[in-house]
């Protein structure tokens, strides 16, 4: 229980840090803390494989993506600049709606029994990872993934392929033109404001 | 004693709505995407908690798929951000409003 | 046999269509074509004379155009009489009009309208059911409108036509109401069916039907207070005035009451009402007739008065008498109008009698025609008018209506006075056409002269021949009724009219006494007219007298008892006000406003929803989250129930 509370506070704090920091790099750090805390929480919930996946994929891949894009979009060492706030009055209503939704969700969740009372949880299984009949172990997970849930697995692979193709198409620069000495090549870092269309 | 997932669900809701606030109120597109990742994480937490309560590893598989999709979505989202804001001065989602009407 | 009847009915329509279609090609010969068509119908009608007198008459059914409605033609004695008058006298007037309208620019259109009128009138009298009657009724009103405003470039003619039409439509409503009630109560509209079931009508329904029918009669036959259109209808050409507004159309009301005798016989109150209105009209027309200066208006008011007699007659149940007066009136009134037309034509469209005078020597034939007609109308013994007038007046008395009898006698005297006033001023003395208007007291021209192109004229006999034929009828038509109830006239109708429920025979006043009383009153009227206008002394001071009389004519008479103004204030002004209100307010604000409000609403809604489409990602995200929150709240609430 104490683990839950400590990790819970960590999670919330890091989430708030992610959302409120001015500089995106600080937000990335907060997000990393969030991922790590969540991984530990997974561990306490007997989901060891998922904890590792969480750290590797989220923290190792996705966060890196974010860092690279921050680097790509930064100009020199200055902070990101932002235009004027077009929705200055959004704070109050946003907060209100979120609180209402949260209240509704909590009301629904906490009134109903969420799990049967008869299932006896297994004892702590740390150390027995790899056994296919231990809940949460990599063996158990692998068996499930490759037998019962094989189709979703294959579809997921497909999704990833589509994502890769999409990224290449969207983010790739146009093929640089050879100028044949007629006019100078435009520098890559040239900045122009986006034309505002009324 | 049986496992009661309600505190984990409550925690998941809190993180989820913090993520929602981030999406609604922040104007830097990167932070918006990070907030979306937060929301994914919250969902994953709830799933794992329930999976533990029902001792059913279908929840784990689901989380696996969610993580995968979240990764793909983050990749594509960041690619779009790069494509849109590559040549602009301000990195601000409010600037990308040409489809108004 | 059936084919003959259908031909009688349809030939004038074919004539009208031909004249409308080939008017420009036929030009002036259109008149001959039109006249020939009507005379042919007349010949066919005469051929069917015996067939019509058979029991049940000649009945042609065209089958039902609505299940339960049989539409057809019926030629019984009543219809036969009217058909003979329409086609016979109509044919004579057509022949006269050939000469009268010879120099007009639109001869073909005129005769097309005249033929159409004959067709419409035949529809009215030959139908065997109320619906056909209504159709004919409406078409006749339409034909009247066409012909009154024939010279449509005269604003006064157009106004007169419109007035006639509107008042007639008001009467049409009465007829329609009666038809509705009859159908609702009895379930059928054929004459035979309705008249055999009269007993099934409740008394209030019967009264309503009779009153509604009488409203229609009052409008069509120019009874008080719906008479105001008839004097104005004199704007039409004189043959039109003769045919429509003297001989036939205005008598449609008389036909209706005679046809619906079973209905009226069963309702003594309606008969009272009809009789009273008829007598009132007879008196009013006579009183107004003595204030007129336009020769055609004198005749118009005299028509109104005489039809009052007819209505009074058929109203109280003296059907044969009233219908006889119709026949004789058709002859002498047509003769009077055509004679007046001769005068007007010869004087190049002068209609004011103050500008006439001494025409006795210049136009002897016209003088003879008008004198004969006048003698007939006042009831000179031996002429047709006397028989019919005495029959009506005595018929009213012997059915127990002494007040109406008195009114009829008084009106007879007044008739003599104003008709001879007209004769004396027009035909005696010296010709005043050379004097200027003010000298004889002409303050303003009521109707502008009828336009005419003086290039071509036909020889005189073309117009005089039909008048001569009419004279025969004027003199002899009444002789049919010699012999009282065993005369050819009464035997012609047999028991067609039945007897009224409330037949109160008042003996004691023999018919000869009534006749003598009328003669005395008539002679008195003549004497007064002679003294004022006809004596040598009066004729010597004619100009001054006419001028004085024009100036001192009582305003009440000049404005025709202000009935026109009353109707104007009661109906025309409110209608105009309503129209203006609708045009100024309802149309732009309510009707257009409704549409404009819809447009405004659409754009306002659009403006509201545009806020959501500002292109900002955050707005869309916000909407998304708000929707999701709503779903969450709803699910939580649902789950908790």
Lowest mean per-residue pLDDT among A125-139, C378-392, C400-414, C562-576: A125-139
Same-domain status, C571 and C552: no
With cut-offs at 50, 70 and 90, classify the pLDDT of residue C111: very high
Which of B22, B82, B87 lies closest to A192 in CB terms?
A: B87
B87 contacts A62? CB cut-off 8 A: no
With cut-offs at 50, 70 and 90, classify the pLDDT of residue C2: confident
With cut-offs at 50, 70 and 90, classify the pLDDT of residue B42: very high
For chain C, give the mean pLDDT. Answer: 86
Enumerate the residues of chain A whose CB falls inside 8 A of the CB of residue C618: 86-87, 90
Which of B41, B48, B90 lies closest to A45 in CB terms?
A: B48
Which of B38, B79, B98 lies closest to A171 in CB terms?
A: B79
Residue C231 lies in a domain: yes
A94 contacts C633? CB cut-off 8 A: no
Same-domain status, C519 and C625: no
Give the pLDDT confidence score for residue A180 in this predicted structure. Answer: 64
- pLDDT value at C454 more than 60: no
The residue in chain C having the minimum alpha-carbon distance to the alpha carbon of residue B29 is: C617
Q: Which residue of C606, C612, C614, C616 is the best one to mutate when testing the B interface, meaning the one whose CB has the most B CBs within 10 A?
A: C616
> Using CB atoms, which chains have 3+ pairs under 8 A with C?
A, B
Please state the φ and ψ torsions of residue B96, each to the nearest 5 degrees: -90, 70
Give the pLDDT confidence score for residue C452 in this predicted structure. Answer: 55
C614 contacts B100? CB cut-off 8 A: yes
Name the H helices within C197-267. 203-220, 229-232, 238-242, 252-259, 261-265
Same-domain status, C541 and C392: yes
> Using CB atoms, which chains have 3+ pairs under 8 A with B?
A, C
Q: Which value, to the nearest 10 degrees, does the dihedral of the CA atoms of residues B15, B20, B24, B25 take? A: -10
Residue C33 lies in a domain: yes
Mean pLDDT by 10 residues, chain A (198 residues): 91 96 93 96 90 93 93 76 81 92 89 67 56 76 90 95 93 67 60 62
Q: What is the mean pLDDT of residues B21-46?
A: 94
**Complex ipTM value:** 0.92
Give the pLDDT confidence score for residue C212 in this predicted structure. Answer: 93
With cut-offs at 50, 70 and 90, classify the pLDDT of residue C86: very high
C636 contacts A105? CB cut-off 8 A: yes
B20 contacts C615? CB cut-off 8 A: no
Final residue belonging to a domain, choices C529, C558, C587: C558
Give the pLDDT confidence score for residue C39 in this predicted structure. Answer: 92
Final residue belonging to a domain, choices C536, C558, C580: C558
Residue C458 lies in a domain: no
Residue C460 lies in a domain: no
Lowest mean per-residue pLDDT among A73-87, C375-389, C497-511: C497-511
B97 contacts A19? CB cut-off 8 A: no
Q: Does A188 touch chain B (CB under 8 A)?
A: no
Same-domain status, C487 and C634: no
B61 contacts A149? CB cut-off 8 A: yes
Lowest mean per-residue pLDDT among A176-185, C298-307, C435-444, C538-547: A176-185
Q: For residues C293 and C540, what is the distance between their CA atoms, to the nearest angstrom?
A: 19
The residue in chain A having the minimum alpha-carbon distance to the alpha carbon of residue B88 is: A193
What would the two tokens of residue C512 be? 């000869």
Same-domain status, C527 and C581: no
B97 contacts C613? CB cut-off 8 A: no
CA distances from C534 to C250, C359, C424, C550 (A): 32, 14, 5, 17
Lowest mean per-residue pLDDT among A172-181, C152-161, C619-628: A172-181
Final residue belonging to a domain, choices C558, C575, C607: C558
Same-domain status, C87 and C106: yes
What would the two tokens of residue A185 be? 């090549």
Residue C455 lies in a domain: no
Listed by number, the residues of chain A in 124-183 with a beta carbon closer than 8 Å to a beta carbon of chain B are: 135-136, 140-141, 144-145, 148-149, 152-153, 156, 159-160, 162-164, 166-167, 170-171, 173
Give the pLDDT confidence score for residue A179 in this predicted structure. Answer: 60
The residue in chain B having the minimum alpha-carbon distance to the alpha carbon of residue C628 is: B20
Report chain B's C-alpha Rg in angstroms. 17
Per the CB < 8 A criterion, the answer to whether C478 and C387 are in contact is yes
The residue in chain C having the minimum alpha-carbon distance to the alpha carbon of residue B94 is: C616
Lowest mean per-residue pLDDT among A11-20, C48-57, C399-408: C48-57
Q: Does C540 touch chain B (CB under 8 A)?
A: no
C618 contacts A105? CB cut-off 8 A: no
- Give the angle C104-C110-C116 at the CA atoms, nearest 5°: 175
Q: What is the mean pLDDT of residues B37-57?
A: 92
With cut-offs at 50, 70 and 90, classify the pLDDT of residue C502: low
Enumerate the residues of chain B whose CB falls inside 8 A of the CB of residue C613: 100-101
A119 contacts B9? CB cut-off 8 A: no
The residue in chain A having the minimum alpha-carbon distance to the alpha carbon of residue C640 is: A108
Per the CB < 8 A criterion, the answer to whether B13 and A105 are in contact is yes
Same-domain status, C186 and C69: yes
Q: For residues C639 and C396, what is the distance between their CA atoms, to the nearest angstrom?
A: 94
Q: How many domains does chain C have?
A: 2
Which of C622, C628, C636 lies closest to A107 in CB terms?
A: C636
Per the CB < 8 A criterion, the answer to whether C102 and C27 are in contact is no
Q: Does A112 touch chain B (CB under 8 A)?
A: no
Q: What domain range includes position C634?
A: 566-639
The residue in chain B having the minimum alpha-carbon distance to the alpha carbon of residue C614 is: B100
Same-domain status, C207 and C304: yes
Q: For residues A57 and A42, what is the distance between their CA atoms, to the nearest angstrom?
A: 14
Enumerate the residues of chain A whose CB falls inside 8 A of the CB of residue C637: 104
Q: From the CA of C613, how many Å to the nearest CA of chain A? A: 13
Q: From the CA of B34, how many Å to the nearest CA of chain C? A: 15
Give the pLDDT confidence score for residue C557 in this predicted structure. Answer: 81
Q: Which value, to the nearest 10 degrees, does the dihedral of the CA atoms of residues C137, C16, C250, C104 take? A: 140
Name the H helices within C260-381. 261-265, 268-289, 295-316, 319-346, 359-362, 364-378
B30 contacts A69? CB cut-off 8 A: yes
Enumerate the residues of chain B whose CB falls inside 8 A of the CB of residue A65: 74-75, 78
Residue C454 lies in a domain: no
Same-domain status, C608 and C521: no
The residue in chain A having the minimum alpha-carbon distance to the alpha carbon of residue B1 is: A120
Q: From the CA of C634, how many Å to the nearest CA of chain A? A: 8
Same-domain status, C540 and C601: no
Q: For residues A187 and A194, what is the distance between their CA atoms, to the nearest angstrom?
A: 17
Listed by number, the residues of chain A in 58-97 with a beta carbon closer than 8 Å to a beta carbon of chain B are: 58, 61-62, 65-66, 69-70, 72-73, 80-87, 90-91, 94-95
C199 or C158, which is more confident?
Answer: C158
Q: For residues B8 and A3, what is the distance between their CA atoms, to the nearest angstrom?
A: 12
What would the two tokens of residue C262 be? 């079973």
Same-domain status, C17 and C77: yes
The distance between the two most distant Cα atoms of chain C, rounded to a whole number of Å, is 119
Same-domain status, C553 and C627: no
A121 contacts B3? CB cut-off 8 A: yes
pTM given for the model: 0.69
The residue in chain B having the minimum alpha-carbon distance to the alpha carbon of residue A41 is: B45
Residue C297 lies in a domain: yes
C450 or C323, which is more confident?
Answer: C323
């Amino acid at each position: 229980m104490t683990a839950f509370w400590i990790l819970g506070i960590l999670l919330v704090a890091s989430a708030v840090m992610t959302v409120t920091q001015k500089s995106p790099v600080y937000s990335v750090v907060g997000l990393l803390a969030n991922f790590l805390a969540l991984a530990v929480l997974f561990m306490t919930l007997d989901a060891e494989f998922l904890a590792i996946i969480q750290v590797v994929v989220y923290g190792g891949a996705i966060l890196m993506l974010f860092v690279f894009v921050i680097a790509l979009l930064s100009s020199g060492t200055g902070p990101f600049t932002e235009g004027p706030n077009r929705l200055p009055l959004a704070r109050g209503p946003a907060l209100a709606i979120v609180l209402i939704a949260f209240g509704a969700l909590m009301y629904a969740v906490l009134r109903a029994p969420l799990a049967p009372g008869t299932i006896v949880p297994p004892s702590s299984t740390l150390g027995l990872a790899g056994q296919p009949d231990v809940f949460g172990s990599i063996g158990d997970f692998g068996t499930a993934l490759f037998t019962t849930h094989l189709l979703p697995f294959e579809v997921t692979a497909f999704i990833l392929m589509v994502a890769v193709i999409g990224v290449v198409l969207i983010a790739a620069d146009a093929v640089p033109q050879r100028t044949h000495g007629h006019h100078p090549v435009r520098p890559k870092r040239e900045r122009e404001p986006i034309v505002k269309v009324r | 004693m049986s496992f009661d997932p309600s505190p984990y669900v409550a925690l998941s809701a809190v993180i989820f709505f913090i993520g929602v606030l981030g999406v609604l109120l922040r104007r830097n597109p990167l932070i918006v995407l990070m907030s979306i990742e937060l929301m994914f994480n919250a969902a994953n937490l709830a799933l794992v908690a329930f999976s533990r309560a029902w001792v059913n590893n279908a929840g784990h598989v689901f989380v696996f798929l969610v993580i995968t999709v979240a990764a793909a979505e983050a990749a594509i989202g960041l690619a779009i951000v790069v494509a849109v804001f590559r040549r602009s001065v301000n990195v601000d989602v409010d600037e990308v409003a040409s489809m108004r009407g | 046999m059936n084919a003959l009847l259908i031909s009688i009915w349809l030939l004038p329509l074919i004539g009208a269509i031909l004249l409308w279609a080939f008017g420009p090609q036929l030009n002036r010969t259109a008149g001959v074509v039109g006249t020939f068509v009507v005379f042919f119908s007349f010949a066919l009608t005469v051929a069917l004379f015996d067939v019509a007198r058979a029991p049940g008459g000649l009945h042609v059914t065209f089958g039902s155009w609505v299940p339960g409605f049989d539409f057809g033609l019926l030629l019984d004695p009543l219809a036969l009489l009217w058909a003979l008058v329409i086609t016979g006298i109509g044919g004579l007037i057509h022949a006269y009009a050939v000469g009268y309208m010879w120099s007009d620019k639109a001869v073909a259109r005129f005769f097309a309208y005249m033929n159409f009128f004959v067709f419409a009138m035949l529809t009215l009298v030959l139908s065997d059911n109320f619906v056909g009657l209504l159709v004919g009724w409406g078409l006749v009103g339409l034909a009247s409108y066409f012909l009154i405003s024939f010279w449509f470039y005269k604003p006064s003619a157009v106004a007169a036509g419109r007035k006639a039409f509107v008042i007639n439509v008001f009467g049409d409503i009465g007829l329609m109401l009666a038809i509705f009630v009859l159908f609702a109560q009895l379930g059928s509209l054929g004459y035979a069916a309705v008249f055999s079931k009269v007993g099934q009508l409740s008394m209030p329904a019967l009264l309503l039907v009779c009153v509604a029918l009488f409203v229609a009669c009052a409008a069509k036959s120019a009874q008080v207070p719906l008479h105001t259109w008839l004097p104005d209808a004199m704007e039409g050409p004189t043959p039109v005035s003769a045919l429509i507004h003297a001989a036939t159309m205005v008598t449609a009301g008389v036909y209706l009451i005679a046809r619906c005798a079973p209905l009226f016989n069963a309702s003594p109150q309606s008969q009272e009402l009809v009789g009273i209105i008829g007598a009132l009209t007879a008196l009013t027309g006579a009183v107004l007739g003595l204030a007129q200066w336009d020769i055609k208006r004198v005749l118009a008011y005299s028509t109104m008065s005489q039809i009052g007699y007819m209505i009074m007659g058929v109203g109280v149940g003296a059907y044969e008498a009233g219908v006889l007066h119709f026949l004789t009136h058709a002859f002498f009134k047509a003769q009077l109008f055509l004679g007046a037309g001769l005068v007007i034509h010869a004087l190049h469209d002068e209609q004011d009698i103050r500008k006439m005078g001494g025409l006795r020597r210049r136009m002897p034939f016209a003088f003879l025609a008008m004198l004969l007609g006048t003698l007939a109308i006042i009831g000179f013994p031996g002429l047709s008018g006397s028989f019919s007038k005495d029959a009506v007046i005595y018929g009213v008395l012997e059915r127990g209506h002494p007040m109406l009898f008195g009114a009829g006698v008084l009106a007879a005297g007044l008739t003599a006075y104003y008709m001879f006033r007209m004769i004396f001023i027009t035909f005696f003395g010296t010709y005043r056409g050379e004097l200027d208007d003010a000298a004889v007291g002409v303050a303003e021209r009521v109707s502008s002269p009828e336009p005419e192109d003086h290039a071509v004229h036909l020889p005189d006999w073309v117009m005089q021949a039909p008048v001569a034929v009419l004279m025969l009828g004027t003199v002899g038509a009444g002789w049919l009724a010699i012999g009282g109830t065993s005369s050819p006239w009464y035997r012609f109708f047999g028991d067609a009219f039945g007897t009224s429920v409330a037949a109160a025979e008042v003996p004691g006043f023999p018919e000869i006494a009534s006749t003598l009383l009328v003669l005395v009153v008539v002679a008195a009227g003549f004497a007064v007219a002679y003294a004022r206008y006809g004596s040598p002394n009066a004729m010597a001071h004619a100009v001054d007298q006419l001028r004085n009389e024009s100036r001192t004519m009582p305003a009440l008479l000049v404005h025709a008892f202000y009935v026109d103004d009353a109707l104007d204030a009661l109906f025309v002004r409110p209608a105009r006000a309503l129209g203006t209100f609708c045009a100024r307010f309802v149309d732009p604000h309510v009707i257009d406003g409704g549409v404009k409000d819809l447009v405004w609403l659409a754009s306002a809604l659009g403006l509201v929803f545009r806020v959501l489409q500002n292109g900002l990602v955050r707005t869309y995200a916000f909407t998304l989250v708000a929707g999701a929150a709503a779903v969450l709240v709803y699910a939580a609430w649902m789950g908790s129930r």
